Structure 1
Amino acid sequence: MKAIVFDLDETLISHRKQLENFIDFQYNHFYNRLKLIPFEDWKNNFIKLDNNGYVTKEVVYDNLSNIFKLEISVTELYQHFLQNFHFYISPYKRANELLHILKKYNLKLGLLTNGGTLIQNNKINMLKYENFFDEIIISESVGIEKPDPRIFDMILGRLKVEPKDCIYVGDHPFNDIIGAKEVGIKTIWMSHNRKWEHENNNPNWIANDLYGVEEIIMSEFNW
C-alpha cells in the first residue's frame, strides 16, 4: 500500500458539531433581529434543512427566511456564514495524531472532499491540513464531485498511485465507499455506529471512528 485518501466532513471533522457551534454563535450575533424566534426552533430547523451539509447554505437561509419571515436578508446571513463558519471547526479525536503517524511512515496522503472551494479551503487552512496532505481536491474547484469515478481517478493520478495501492476512508456509503470501489480502491467505511445496508457493495473494512481506522491500517501494514 502506497497511499491513503481521506474524505473531510464526518471523517476527519464533525460537520454536525461545527454546525451546532456556529448556529449558536450566529443566533447570538443577530440576536436583536432573531430574538422573537426561539433558539431551539431556529437551531432545529437549520440542522434539518442543512441535511448533513448536503444542502447549500444559500438554500438553507432562503428556506429559513420563508419559515420565519426574517427581516435579515439571506445575503447578510450567508456572508456572515462564509466569514465565520470555519472558526468553529471540530476535528474528531485522533485525527491529527493519525495523520502524523501516516506521514511518519512515508505514505502518500490525499484529501478528497465535496463542497464549495471557499468553504472547504477555509476548513483546511484552519486545520493546517496542507502540511499533511500531498494532494487536496475540492469538488467545486474541479467541476466533478463524488461519487463520479473521474474524481477518484483524478486523486490517484495526482498521487501517482494505482487503485490497488490505495485505501480510501470515508463516511458516506455512496459518495465515498461505492464511488471509490468503482475504480478499484480498497475502502474503510467510517460507520459512526451505523449498519451497512448495501450488501453487493461492501467496504473492505468498517470502523466506528478514527481509532478503529488506525487499528485497521496498523494491521494492514503490520506496524
Structure 2
Amino acid sequence: MVHTLAQQSQTGMIQYQRLKPFKAISFDLDDTLYDNKPIIVKAVAESFSLLHRKYPKSSHWTAVDWQRCKLALQMRQPELVHDTSAARYAMLREGLIQLGYSEIESSHGAQAGLDCFHHYRSDFTIVPDVLATLNTLKQYFTLVGITNGNVDASRIGLDTVMQFVLHPGCGVKMKPAGDMFDLACKQLAIKPSELLHVGDHPNSDIVGAKMVGCQTVWLNPCQQKRHKNPASLLPHIAIDQLSLLVNLI
C-alpha cells in the first residue's frame, strides 16, 4: 500500500498521481539498476587501447574526431541513432578507413573493437541489494527490462529475475519513442496502463512511458528539481532509492 503524501516525503517517496492496479514492472537498466558511467568509461578505454595496439594509426584521432565521424554517419544513416552497437561498429570501421586502412582491415578492426567494448560493457554483476529488491517484486509482478543500451542482461545477473529485456535496433526506436513500451505490453499481453515503468531519466523513461499510457516511477536519488514537464507528464511516483519500490506491494 502506498503511503500518504506526507509520509512519502519523509521516506523518500513522493506521489504525484495515484497508481492504478498494474500487472508488470519494466525497468530501465543503465543508471537505474547500476551506475553506468564508470562501466562505459572503462569499456571505451579498453576498446581503444586494443585498437591502438593492433591499428596504430587509430591513435592519431582524438575522441572529438571519432565523435565527429559518428555524427556524420548518423546523418547519412539515421537508423544508427537507434542502435548503439551498429553505430559503434560503423564509426570504428569508417574511422579506420579514413585513417588509411583497407576495407577488410577496417572491418576486422571495427569488429575487434566492438567485441572488446561489449566484453567490458557487461563485465559486472548487479549488486545483491538491488537483486534482493527485484526478487521481492518478482513474487508479485512480472519484471522486464527496457533499455536504450546494449548491456548483456544475462551476464550481469538479470536473466534470473526478468522475463525479457528489450533493446532498440532493427527498426525498434530508442526511448522516449514508444516502440519498446508497446512491444513489452504486446509480449506480456497487457494494456499499457497495466505496465509500471521505473527509470532515472525524466524524458526517456517518464515522458516516453506516459506518452503510450504506462504508469511511471522516477528514480531520483540526487533529489533533482521537479520536472519542468506539464502536470500530465509528471511521474506517478518519485523515489530516491530503488528499495522503496517494495512499498508498492
Distance 2:45 2:145 in 1: 29
Matched with 2:115 is 83
RMSD in angstroms over aligned alpha carbons? 3.7
Of residues 124, 128, 131 in structure 1, which corresponds to 2:160? 131
The one of 26, 33, 36 aligned to 1:12: 33
After TM superposition, the structure 1 = structure 2 runs for residues 21-36 of structure 1, keeping only pairs within 5 Å, are: 21-32=42-53, 33-34=55-56
- Matched with 1:61 is 92
The residue matched to 2:155 in structure 1 has which SS?
helix
Paired position in structure 2 for 1:95: 130
TM-superposed deviation, 1:57: 1.1
Q: Deviations over 1:195-222 (max 9, x none)?
A: 44433121122334xxx1221x12222x
Q: Secondary structure at the match of 1:130?
A: coil
Q: CA deviation at 1:175?
A: 2.3
Deviation at 1:61, TM superposition (A): 3.2
Q: CA 1:44/1:183 → structure 2, altered by over 3 Å: closer, same or farther?
A: same
Instruction: Summarize the alignment of residues 136-215 of structure 1 with structure 2, pairs less than 5 Å apart.
Output: 136-141=165-170, 143-191=172-220, 193=222, 194-200=224-230, 201-208=233-240, 212-215=241-244
SS in 1 for 2:33: coil
> Which amino acid letter does the alignment assign opposite residue 162 of structure 1?
K
Q: In structure 1, what is the equivalent of residue 78 of structure 2?
A: none
Residue 20 of structure 1 aligns to a residue whose secondary structure is helix
Give, in whole Å, the separation in 1 of the partners of 2:66 and 2:97: 12
- Counterpart Cα distance in 2 of 1:164 and 1:113: 19
Matched position secondary structure for 2:30: coil
Unpaired runs of 5+ residues, structure 2, are: 1-21, 72-80
- Larger relative helix fraction: 1
Give the residue type in structure 2 aligned to 1:57: R
| Cα distance change on mapping 1:98 and 1:44 into 2, 3 Å | farther
What is the percentage of aligned positions where both structures have the same residue?
21
Structure 1 CA distance for aligned equivalents of residues 202 and 48 of structure 2: 33
Higher relative contact order structure (alpha carbons within 8 Å, sequence separation ≥ 6): 2
Whole-Å separation in 2 of the counterparts to 1:70 and 1:192: 46
Aligned pair count reads: 207
Whose Rg is larger?
Answer: 2
